[in-house]
Structure 1
């Protein structure tokens, strides 16, 4: 039998039924984790507390398998409570790991791992000779670089080494680029850094030069009403169809203010509602009203329900009932 952590706070708590020694009449499937799932969760949590790439891959698996569900309602709450990570930071990590996968030309399932055990979760009890628990990343220091080389065994058994990122900030500028452009930009950044790991600033400079050569004029303007298109941006997950007001226009991106947050996104993640000026002004005022409600502390959950509904309504007007509901809620919280 595999060894399982004995830390009391890491083991699943006993249910009330076990404590009272009663026999249930009917067994109902709940959100409790199985022993194997708890073991996987413990392992993945420890990966998050380690290197950037391992942390990102572990977070992605924790999210995709919903291994947080026994203790937290949402993945965002779980990351904030367990690791002190904001929603945006987690999205940056996961997006950065996908860039590293592309740079390696792999799906990231095995890095520097000569066995064929498969996914991270199946390697929990596979301790290597250095004492690391299930680590899939080998960082030989023969060249003097600190974790700059990740060994990747191909199917023929040969080993190829290359300079790869060790920090999420080093790859953040690469995220908006196409896969081929990511590889080209990283190679140029490594060369510019003298064959060493380039800083995020160097990578950003290379990316700026690439995008300048293929610059597309930003079609949006201040005050315009647009909807969000999540596409491949993990930060926009669940925001499809949400509208907002353009508050900043950059060369390649815009800042969109919605009822509950601000998002700085690439222009390809936006779609204009193509409204007339008067309609834009109405939507701007409506957004301001919804944001004031969202900023109220200890507000009733029905407030968010109302704001969410109006925050996805793409018509530049409210029905009489919608206006009455909104006005009543504003009056309830003294906003009139």
Structure 2
């Protein structure tokens, strides 16, 4: 039987065929070893030193600073607004937030009016959680987006909701979606029917809502009824507020109509460009806890209306 022809040998380098590469050569073919599975790979172990007690304290302190970054921003904005530290360059806080070239920008928004108020709301919620949640857990929000859903709940319920969200996240900082789901379940469990009616006159209760600061006790007229909130008209515009921020005056229908008429008269006059004395007068009328004007109040309002109409005629 004929043997198969041998394959031609491959060309080799100038080195003699009898020479062998050094044992330490990196190009050594592991397949040449008797048993490739028994090849030994040497791995150099790198020892990672444990943190000292001081380093552990420093790490915890720095982590807390990162977590509180949005909280500090919200607190700073509240102080800027409450002390009116913007007044030398801007007429209103809203204009200041819109125009000011902030060096720090949120990953989600720039610092417009809405974002500023969201940060201030978040600062209030963060402070509430820090005071009332179990300090042994050390799980607090790290950004405003995570706790935004909590703004729909009463401050007394917010810590409970946050702790449930942390538990759902297996002891880690919960995401916005987890917090939102927990808040939704609590709202469904504690749902109270919205009994307010369009045209009803209510008193504003601030209850840690920064957007309502300075309006505690003011009257407002319901213009829209939602599931868990009402849109109300006040002397300086419309606001959507939770039911916990409203208390009905229980006025008679005729008294509600009188307040609606007063609201329309004030709204036609009020603007940020008015003199401070005029604005203060209109604001004081917006804080009345009775459904009528005295003779003096009616006369003052009529004078302002006359001047306003006169200015409109001149501008026309």
Contact preservation (8 Å) 2:132, 2:159? no
Relative to the length of structure 2, the TM-score reads 0.60
> 8 Å contact 2:77–2:120 — kept in the other structure?
yes
Which of 191, 194, 218 is 2:194 aligned to?
A: 218
Aligned length: 236
1:274 aligned residue (222, 242, 250): 250
In the other structure, the counterpart of 2:294 is 319
Which whole-Å CA distance do the structure 2 matches of 1:332 and 1:177 have between them?
45
Q: Give yes or no for contact 1:88–1:235 (8 Å, CA) kept in 2.
A: no
Could you say if the C-alpha distance between residues 191 and 329 of structure 1 is closer, same or farther in structure 2, counting changes exceeding 3 Å? same
Could you tell me which residue of structure 2 aligns to residue 173 of structure 1? 149
Trace 1:193-232 onto structure 2 (pairs within 5 A): 198-232=174-208
1:324 shift after superposition: 3.1
- Confirm or deny: 8 A CA contact 1:99 1:174 kept in the other structure: yes
Distance in structure 1 (CA, Å) of the matches to 2:258 and 2:225: 21
Task: Work out which of the residue numbers 74, 93, 100 in structure 2 matches 1:76.
Answer: 93
Q: Is the 8 A contact 1:225 1:245 kept in 2?
A: yes
Unaligned runs of 5+ in 1: 1-46, 108-153
Query: 1:262: how far off?
Result: 2.1
The answer for the alignment partner of 1:52 in structure 2 is: 70
Q: Does structure 2 retain, via aligned residues, the 8 Å contact 1:76–1:86?
A: no
Which of these two proteins has the greater Rg computed from alpha carbons? 2
> Any conservation in 1 of the 2:229–2:243 contact (CA below 8 Å)?
yes
Contact 2:84/2:93, CA 8 A, preserved across alignment = no
Aligned position for 1:256: 232
Distance across 2 between alignment mates of 1:270 and 1:195: 36
What is the distance in 2 between the residues matched to 1:53 and 1:305? 32
SS at match of 2:157: helix
Query: Cα distance, 1:73 vs. partner?
Result: 8.7
CA pair 75-194 structure 1, distance change in 2 beyond 3 A = farther
Question: Could you say which residue in structure 2 is the equivalent of 1:99?
Answer: 125
1:279 to 1:160, Cα distance in 2 relative to 1, 3 A: closer
Structure 2: which 5+ runs fail to align?
A: 1-64, 103-109
For 1:324 and 1:180, how far apart are their aligned partners in 2?
45
Secondary structure at the residue paired with 1:100?
Answer: helix
Output the CA distance in 1 between the equivalents of 2:157 and 2:128. Answer: 10
Matches within 5 A, 1:179-190: 181-190=157-166
Following superposition, the deviation at residue 328 of structure 1 comes to 2.9
